[in-house]
Amino acid sequence: MPLRLTPLAAAGEDRDELVSFLTRNVFPFHVRPQSTEEQVRAAIDAGEWGDGDTEALWIDDEERGRVGVVRLHDLADATAMVDLRLGEQHRGFGLGALALTAATDHVFREHTAVIRLEGQTREDNIAMRRTFERCGWVLEAHYRDGWPVTDGEHVASVAYSVLRRDWAKGTTTPVPWGATPPVLDGRSRDAEALIAAAWEAEERLLMPTVRGDAARLRELLAEGFVEIGQSGRRWTRDEIIAALASDPGRGDVEIGERAARQLAPGLVLLNYLLRFDGRSSRRTSIWRCDPEPRCVFHQGTSVP
């Protein structure tokens, strides 16, 4: 089996490993993107990672080893909740869908009182929304301004769920009252969802863990990708992958002056001011979302 869930003793032998995992990784779409050691230890002591109705499990991959954690809570209720977190270097490989499927199977097999499993995320967390939909979960709610953002305005929170009866039959029961079309359907996604997907992919391209990984870069850059660098040099896809692998940067990133628009169905233009590793430049990217975002063009111009 390529992926399995392993019981996690947060208050016992796994305490230090869990603290290390939660403090060394950044989770940009959580209410608290990065936790301190004191915050994690306090949460463990409060039972947030294991008590009467909360269970935590490691996500272990056959090839990659320990890749993340999943926390299941409200297990004593008819509706349980899931919190899934992958380490930064393991994102973008489809492991989220495998882990969510394993967690769903675990809940419905081991916790017979649960008839519904729910997960919530920010509306602009396109990667997680795709994961829910790939696993047959259904969008049930859109809570406007329901998600607090550190040093920013609230964004909407969206809720997905899977029913025990659907899990048992291998079916998906749609919400009967005209819900928003799935974000996976490129023909029905509106411009806002397409632009959010492009921004999420663009930000991944700025992560050193992604820039230094040729396989992940090939997933984000289209085959005919072209970049015009700050020196005026034209780079092909293979050339830029090789260059980034040798110098992925430190990851000191700040994005400002964001602007975006849809050029055509499935095609998005992004413009922004980037401060990266102490240097400033204006960036332009064109992304093709069909449905997975793939960058087809990028250009950077130095700012004195």
Could you tell me the CATH number of the domain that includes residue 138?
A: 3.40.630.30
Residue 177 is predicted with a pLDDT of: 59
pLDDT category at 228 given cuts 50, 70, 90 is very high
- Residues 40 and 107 reside in one and the same domain: yes
**Residue 185: pLDDT over 60:** no
Residue 251 is predicted with a pLDDT of: 60
- Residues 172 and 204 reside in one and the same domain: no
Which of 181, 201, 236 is the last residue before a domain boundary? 181
- Residues 281 and 249 reside in one and the same domain: yes
| 187 within some domain | no
* C-alpha to C-alpha distance for 225 and 293, rounded to whole angstroms: 12
Helix, coil or strand: residue 43 = helix
Q: Are 235 and 227 in contact (CB under 8 A)?
A: yes
Which of 140, 156, 181 is the last residue before a domain boundary? 181
- What is the DSSP secondary-structure string of 155-217? EEEEEEEEEHHHHHHT-----SS-PPPPTT-TTT--HHHHHHHHHHHHHHTT-HHHHT-HHHH
| 186 within some domain | no
- Residues 128 and 270 reside in one and the same domain: no
Q: Which range of residues forms the domain containing residue 238?
A: 192-302
**Residue 195: pLDDT over 50:** yes
CATH code where residue 276 lies: 3.10.450.50
pLDDT category at 299 given cuts 50, 70, 90 is very high
- Residues 142 and 204 reside in one and the same domain: no
**Residue 225: pLDDT over 50:** yes
- Chain centroid to CA 96: how far? 8
Report the candidate in 25, 23, 49 with the shortest Cα–Cα distance to residue 38: 23
| 121 within some domain | yes
**Residue 149: pLDDT over 80:** yes
Output the average pLDDT for the chain: 88
- Residues 18 and 142 reside in one and the same domain: yes
**Residue 267: pLDDT over 50:** yes
Residue 277 is predicted with a pLDDT of: 72
List, for residues 84-141, the tens digit of each pLDDT value.
Answer: 999 999 988 889 999 999 999 999 999 999 999 999 999 888 889 889 988 989 999 9
User: What average pLDDT does range 270-274 have in this prediction?
Assistant: 92
256 versus 54: which is more confidently predicted?
54
Residue 256 is predicted with a pLDDT of: 86
234 versus 191: which is more confidently predicted?
234
Residue 186 is predicted with a pLDDT of: 40
Residue 184 is predicted with a pLDDT of: 43
pLDDT category at 165 given cuts 50, 70, 90 is very high
- Residues 176 and 287 reside in one and the same domain: no
Which of 146, 181, 216 is the last residue before a domain boundary? 181
| 261 within some domain | yes
User: What average pLDDT does range 216-226 have in this prediction?
Assistant: 90
Residue 188 is predicted with a pLDDT of: 38
Residue 212 is predicted with a pLDDT of: 83
- Residues 59 and 144 reside in one and the same domain: yes
Residue 264 is predicted with a pLDDT of: 83
| 165 within some domain | yes
- Residues 34 and 109 reside in one and the same domain: yes
Residue 37 is predicted with a pLDDT of: 95
| 206 within some domain | yes
pLDDT category at 287 given cuts 50, 70, 90 is very high
Measure the CA angle with vertex 205, ends 60 and 26; round to 5°.
50
- Residues 158 and 274 reside in one and the same domain: no
Residue 250 is predicted with a pLDDT of: 66
Percent of the chain with pLDDT over 70: 93
pLDDT category at 289 given cuts 50, 70, 90 is confident
- Residues 138 and 237 reside in one and the same domain: no
Q: Per the structure, how many domains does the chain have?
A: 2
